[in-house]
Amino acid sequence: MKKLVIFLGILIVISLIAFVFNAVFLKEKSIASGVFYIKRGENVLQISANLKNQGYITNQLSFVYQTIISRNFKKLKSGKYQIKEGQKYNELINKFSLGQILPSEISIIPGKTIKDIANVLSSAYLFKRDDFLNKALYPDKNVLDKFVFLSDKPEGEGLEGYLFPDNYLVDSSGNIDDLQIQILSNFNNKLTQDLRDEIKGQNRTIFEIVTMASMLEKEVKSYKDKQIVSGILWKRADNHLPLQVDSTLLYFQTSLHPSVLEKDVDSEYNTYKYAGLPKGPICNPSLESIKAAIYSENTEYWFYLSAPSGQTIYAKTLGQHLINKAKYLSN
């Protein structure tokens, strides 16, 4: 009988504690409005700590407790969330567990590389940098098979050059394959049948055009200059001459301070050491640069340089080019 009384007493105490916890904790509300990010891999303790540190909640223990009793301890999803002042903790937990996220807009700027894009996605808490980079370098077959324009891409080449510059709405609850398909679909739409027919008529591949366009994107600014430089580089490539494009030197260097002076490095991207096009695209070019690679302008020029002012200076002979270098590039 005594044991039963003790047991009932313990049960009553536990019930009272639970009642007090629920009565107090379930009334807890957010104290601020704003956008809150849950990063991939964060657990409830990290999430609750971030909510408190960023001024959205005052009681971390209450948030954790309610997450446990609602059985959402392992269900909180990464993403970008809108929090409104006065929302109960259980409402926030429900939002996080259902993944009611805000889409994030990212911008791919012409001339950016897959490394740059990976950094943008990481900064927006959408995907881990290395996860996106790995998928861009080694895309899944189910992604590649969806797009005919990738069929002439050499095996082993990644998606550099094909991640079309534009603004994209990204759902962080999605996966990297979905984002790649969204971006590649945009490339597919922009590369019209007329452009594809012109490329085929020139007996070139889309991969070669994108590679050329990526250099034009990095080398010169105006469409007219891009067309002229395109003509120069195609002429040099078709005659098996080194293109001598500085921007290709910068692409493969991994140091914090890459230099165009490192012209002897053994790399298939080194257009000073090896003739013809580099191994592949060196950035993701704009439609303007792609069109300039297709519709190049044939001139008598064989050389060009970019002056510090941004002006592109052309030369017909090596002698003229050396004079231009001394005039415009000497310190």
Distances (CA, A) of 267 to 169, 221, 238, 247: 36, 26, 20, 13
Q: Among 189, 196, 194, which Cα is nearest to 210's? A: 196
Return the residue matching tokens 């510090």: 308
**Which sequence spans correspond to the domains of the chain?**
22-98, 104-190, 203-299
**Token duo for residue 215:** 């250099």
User: CA-CA distance, 288 to 182, in Å (whole number)?
Assistant: 20
User: CA-CA distance, 91 to 84, in Å (whole number)?
Assistant: 10
* pLDDT one-digit tens code per residue, 37-46: 888 889 999 9
Dihedral, CA of residue 289, residue 294, residue 299 and residue 303, to nearest 10 = 50
* pLDDT one-digit tens code per residue, 251-275: 876 544 555 566 777 788 999 999 9
What are 29's strand-pairing partners?
88
* pLDDT one-digit tens code per residue, 6-43: 544 454 544 444 444 554 455 687 878 888 988 888 99
Dihedral, CA of residue 172, residue 174, residue 175 and residue 176, to nearest 10 = -60
Residue 204 pLDDT greater than 90, yes or no: yes
**What average pLDDT does the structure give for the chain?**
87
Q: Are 255 and 265 in contact (CB under 8 A)?
A: no
Return the residue matching tokens 């937990």: 93
> What's the whole-model pTM score?
0.77
Q: Among 15, 9, 12, 73, which Cα is nearest to 47's? A: 73
What are 79's strand-pairing partners?
38
CATH topology classification for 22-98: Dna Ligase; domain 1 (3.30.1490)
User: CA-CA distance, 91 to 81, in Å (whole number)?
Assistant: 12
Q: What residue type is 258 in one-letter code?
A: P
Instruction: Identify the band that residue 5 occupies on the pLDDT scale cut at 50, 70 and 90.
Output: very low
Backbone angles phi, psi at 37, to 5 degrees: -110, 135
Backbone angles phi, psi at 109, to 5 degrees: -90, 140
